[in-house]
Structure 1
Amino acid sequence: MFQRPTYRLLDAFRLHGLDLSLGTPTDGLKQLEPLFTPLYDALVGHSQEQTFWHADETRWQVFVTVEGNAGHRWYLWVFPAADVVVFVLSPTRGRETPDAHFGDDAEGTRVVDRYSAYQAMAAVQSGTLVLAFCWAHVRRDFLRVRKGRPEHTAWADGWVARIGRLYHRSDERRNATPLPAAVPRPRTEADQRVRDHVEAMRTQRDDELADPQLPPARRKVLQSLANHWAGLTVFLDQPDVPLDHNTAERAQRGPVVGRKNYYGSGAEWSGRLAAMLFRLFQTLSLANLNPHAWLTAYLTACAEAGGEVPADAERDLPWNLSDEQKRAWSQDREPRPTDTS
């Protein structure tokens, strides 16, 4: 949870007089993996029942040899939804991983970057899964031109400012007083301002692209903007869809810190366990649950079941908890006073 390698934990234990060999906690962790597998599967199932997700992927080293996979680079995929976060460790970065997770008949909306694997998914190709592209990535395109080609600074700054106003007007629309449900949805003043600004951006883009003297650096960015326009404007008719997939990128921060501290996983089982726990801890966090309190209760139940998974393990997932359990395991609960007697 704190992204510290095992040997550093052992060094800390030694300061308290507990001297363990590296193999002791490693073997213990390996024994834990099957205890979390049913929860892992239940979280996947709950994620697949949703209709709105974010998605992202990042590299993850797994130091094993796999046929057909040169080197040790694997990928850690993340699919956050409203109340569940799913991590999937895969040796490939292709469409196979999101296809396997969502299925060929997935329905809903997913906020993603412009990586081609998402666009190649079966459900996207059939039209049942809609991709909403990330405006933060578009903004980075203009900033990249600004950094690499100073002569385009004023032009890039102009587009960055337009994107900033888009965020501002989208926030205004989201924070406006909700209207009663109606079909078709009534058009509010805040909604119209968003649409007018998007139309002005489209017109500006097309006017610039029509210029035969447009510098290649500008044309490349604007052509990408045009190519992805449909996905970038999904939020117009779905106001609850955010303008970017920063939620997914934030979900990856912990694992990325871990990757820098301990380089990845030394075995396939440890990689699976890492993905399981990344998934579990972030899902608990969404429900404002204390992972330490939750783990203590769950592992105690496993011990009482003879070291096996409890028959009703899924009852401890956030959406199945009683109000009493939520209060007992809440992150906001007052800590117990230290015994100083």
Structure 2
Amino acid sequence: MEVTTTAHSSDGVQPIVCFTSDEPAPFAQETIIITKQQDIEQRCRINYLEAQQIRDKAKIKALEEEIILKDAKINDLNKRLFGKSSEKSKKQNSEKNTNNSDQAPKRNRGQQPGSPGHGRTNRPNLPLVHAAPLDLPDEQKKCPDCGLPHIRKPELDKQSDVIEVEVKAHTRRYSRPAYTRNQGCTCDNHLPTIITAPPPPTLIPHSSYDVSFWVEAILNKYRYGQPANRYLQGLQDLGCPVSPGTLAGGLKNLAHLFDPILEALYIRQMGEKIFHNDETRWEVFVEIEGKVGSRWYLWVTRSQSVIFYCIDPSRSATVPGAHFAGLQNDLVIIICDRYSAYKKLARLADNIILAFCWAHVRRDFLDAGRAFAELNEWGLDWKERIGNIYHLNKLRLEHWNPELPLSEQSKQFTQCQQTLQDALQRMHDEASKGIMQDNNKQQNKSQASKRSNSAQIKQKKVYQSLLDHWQGLTVFVENPDVPMDNNLGENAIRGPVTGRKSYYGSGSIWSAELAAALFSITQTLGVWDINQRHWLMAYLTACAENAGKAPQDINSFIPWLMDETRRAELTRPYPSQAPPANSVQTHLNS
């Protein structure tokens, strides 16, 4: 390689370098001669470095967007965990700040001082126990100064009622007189040598535990959400220790007693037309071939008169598909969230229409506003729009006659119907416009300067989800009897979720199936306002009297089959037996 350097100067002396002068630097006067190969190599290297710089800038920009997105998620989670729950609009917040000095003092929670009360609660179902009179001592029945006795005035006697709740465990001993055959009796009737009355009926043969024991165990776990160990610990504190194996084995033996009731619930539900569906995880600690982990799923289907649960290791569409295989109507509506299993179910079944939940859509906008500060006002604005749809639907339902078709409704209903449809159309147009502006970079250039790329992506996803589910979100317009949200289904599953957090699922498959069955029965009884303790005592007593089997005729235990007198009887609390008066007197003296 040959390099020749030539310096040009008027006086033969190298000029002094001066960076502030307009004259060129000395090296600008020099001529460097390199080979063609070196020139090509230098140009290639320059092009390579420029390409690397472009890639690095794109990578840095992508990482910056990722950091913004992660910061938004962290901000959202922090606000959910530590922030105040507020969905007030910007206008309301500004008015609050301007009028802060004139703001009235904060109102305390609960009943306000000076407001009229509701009086003492009437309890007509509590038995009345007359205790021994609480009389004055002899020294207080006379004047302390002169010693003259006070005059007795029965018409001025006072009464004091004290409500007592006595929780106790006891052993009830039955005396069974024994008889032997008369010596003069020569009949060949195979009578036993010692003849006694049969023992009291029990649910489990040769068991010493009464129906009340199992009713308390069922209610504590499947209604009140308490773990079985806590119930056993309470019994031990009352002097009645019971081993966990005894309780688990007994519940396993009782599981089949509820099968006829469960079948009746399913048949009833399959004849209805509107359903609320939801699902939640449920741990079942059993190893199954081909399944990894212990996560199962508890599915709930709520209709007008029945709440039905089923447990399954899968969260696929086969579970609701199997449940709705017994539908009796040509067309039904399922109100649910946007989970893909329900969408697949609707694609496979022509007689199922999905109505999606507006509460989930509302949550999408609020979550986006919490995640990105620049979307906060936008999210709150859409929250108010959705609230207005709820309001318009409520006004419409006030004039709705369920016995008439939509074409024959009143004029007021028709006006409210048109106002509702117009509001929904404006929402649809706004979402469509937002999608089109986001796709057109030139039209959205001014907005892009205000919002980050991650915020725009989030906004587009919310809009797109709204439009994709629009058909299911507007089912309630042509079907006024369909609610706008799935709150009934989600409320039904709250009890089991509370129990899951307490005893963390089930330890066997039969236990999980029993939990689903008892959740179904107890919550369906709640829909019919039937006292669950009263019903369980009556039903399990009938099972005990039938030698530990389900009664042949269960119509008197099915809410929609029993007569009004029977339903009114089971609606009241279970009639408790009042303790004897001497026990009350002993308690008062102690």
Q: Which residue of 360, 370, 375 corresponds with 1:137?
A: 360
* Residue in 2 that maps onto 1:194: 420
CA distance in 1, matches of 2:305, 2:579: 36
- Measured after TM superposition, the shift of residue 185 of structure 1 is 3.8
1:78 and 2:304 are equivalent in the alignment? no
CA distance in 2, matches of 1:110, 1:226: 19
Check whether the contact 1:124–1:130 (CA below 8 A) recurs between aligned residues.
Answer: no
Check whether the contact 1:289–1:330 (CA below 8 A) recurs between aligned residues.
Answer: yes
The within-5 A match list for 1:243-322 is 243-322=484-563
- Measured after TM superposition, the shift of residue 178 of structure 1 is 3.1
Q: Which residue of 231, 237, 244 corresponds with 2:472?
A: 231
- Measured after TM superposition, the shift of residue 338 of structure 1 is 4.2
Structure 1 unpaired stretches of 5+: none
C-alpha spacing 1:101/1:205, structure 2 compared with 1 (3 Å): same
- Measured after TM superposition, the shift of residue 104 of structure 1 is 8.0
Cα RMSD for the two superposed structures: 1.8
* Residue in 2 that maps onto 1:168: 391
Task: List, as ranges, runs of 4+ consecutive aligned residues in structure 1 with deviation greater than 4 Å.
Answer: 333-338
Q: Which residue of 341, 344, 349 corresponds with 1:117?
A: 341
1:108 and 2:332 are equivalent in the alignment? yes
Alignment deviations for residues 165-203 of structure 1 (CA, whole Å, 9 cap, x no partner):
111111111122638725734452222221111111111
C-alpha spacing 1:180/1:111, structure 2 compared with 1 (3 Å): closer
Alignment deviations for residues 130-181 of structure 1 (CA, whole Å, 9 cap, x no partner):
0000000001111111111111111111111100111111111112263872
Higher gyration radius (CA): 2
Alignment deviations for residues 257-316 of structure 1 (CA, whole Å, 9 cap, x no partner):
011000000110000000000000110000000010000110011011111111112441
Identity of aligned residues (%): 39
CA distance in 2, matches of 1:181, 1:103: 30
2:560 match: secondary structure: helix
Check whether the contact 1:124–1:131 (CA below 8 A) recurs between aligned residues.
Answer: no
Q: How many matched pairs? A: 339
- Measured after TM superposition, the shift of residue 206 of structure 1 is 1.2
* Residue in 2 that maps onto 1:57: 279
1:87 and 2:309 are equivalent in the alignment? yes
RCO higher in structure (CA 8 A, sep ≥6)? 1
1:242 match: secondary structure: coil
Q: Which moved more, 1:12-21 or 1:108-117?
A: 12-21
- The one-letter code of the counterpart of 1:120 is K
1:329 match: secondary structure: helix
- Give the alignment's TM-score, normalised by structure 2: 0.56
1:136 match: secondary structure: helix
- Measured after TM superposition, the shift of residue 334 of structure 1 is 9.2
CA distance in 2, matches of 1:206, 1:322: 55
Check whether the contact 2:286–2:508 (CA below 8 A) recurs between aligned residues.
Answer: yes
Structure 2 unpaired stretches of 5+: 1-222, 448-455, 582-590
Check whether the contact 1:55–1:111 (CA below 8 A) recurs between aligned residues.
Answer: yes
CA distance in 1, matches of 2:555, 2:290: 36
* Residue in 2 that maps onto 1:147: 370
- The one-letter code of the counterpart of 1:271 is A
Check whether the contact 1:205–1:222 (CA below 8 A) recurs between aligned residues.
Answer: yes
Check whether the contact 1:39–1:314 (CA below 8 A) recurs between aligned residues.
Answer: no
CA distance in 1, matches of 2:326, 2:510: 28
Which has the larger share of helix? Answer: 1
1:9 and 2:235 are equivalent in the alignment? no
Check whether the contact 2:531–2:574 (CA below 8 A) recurs between aligned residues.
Answer: no
C-alpha spacing 1:340/1:161, structure 2 compared with 1 (3 Å): farther
Alignment deviations for residues 52-111 of structure 1 (CA, whole Å, 9 cap, x no partner):
100000000001011222110000000000000000100100001100000186630010
